Amino acid sequence: MIGRLNHIGIAVPDIAAAIGEYRLFYNARDITPVRDLPDQGVRVAFVNLDNTQIELIEPLGDASPIHKFLERNPKGGQHHICFEVANIHDASAALAAKGATIIGQPRIGAHGTLMVFVHPRDFHGVLIELMEPVPPASPH
Ligand code: CO
């Protein structure tokens, strides 16, 4: 059911500093501009690698879901991993039927496609994001 690893989410206290470190230490060159997603309470940028992406996530606003994570991990840390699934509704229904805890309803995520989180207690402490892949660009 799961497809490709789409990205790994890293929570950071300062996204500009984190981008600078990926540039300085790893010579990362392909990094997207920082985007504010106020609905999700986060500010994100993606470090594009050949085979996947690193999603850098900074809390945005007082109600950000990332604040609690950064309280426990003040320097930042690995927050989630994201697998692609063909259909988010089918995938979350199948997981829920097997006893996994789906967090909320599928919604549009940072890639502009449907995503949902699965509770870390079901997966060895790892928060899992499922997302529908971004369709390939049309050939024009
Ligand atoms: Co993500």
Distances (CA, A) of 27 to 31, 44, 73, 83, 118: 11, 19, 25, 26, 33
CA of residue 98 to ligand 1 center, whole Å: 23
Residue ranges near ligand 1 (ion) with Cβ within 5 Å: 9, 55, 82, 129
Q: All domains of the chain, ordered by start, with CATH?
A: 5-131 (3.10.180.10)
Instruction: Please state, in angstroms and rounded to a whole number, the distance separating the CA atoms of residues 85 and 42.
Output: 23
10 Å Cβ neighbour count for 134? 11
The answer to whether the pTM exceeds 0.75 is yes
- pLDDT for res 140: 67
Lowest mean pLDDT, pick from 22-26, 51-55, 107-111? 107-111
pLDDT tens string 91-123: 999 999 999 999 999 999 989 999 999 999 989
**Using alpha carbons only, how large is the chain's radius of gyration in Å?**
15
Beta-carbon contacts of 46 under 8 Å, excluding residues fewer than 6 positions away, are 7, 31, 32, 53, 54, 55, 56, 110
CA of residue 25 to ligand 1 center, whole Å: 23
- Catalytic residues, which ones? 129
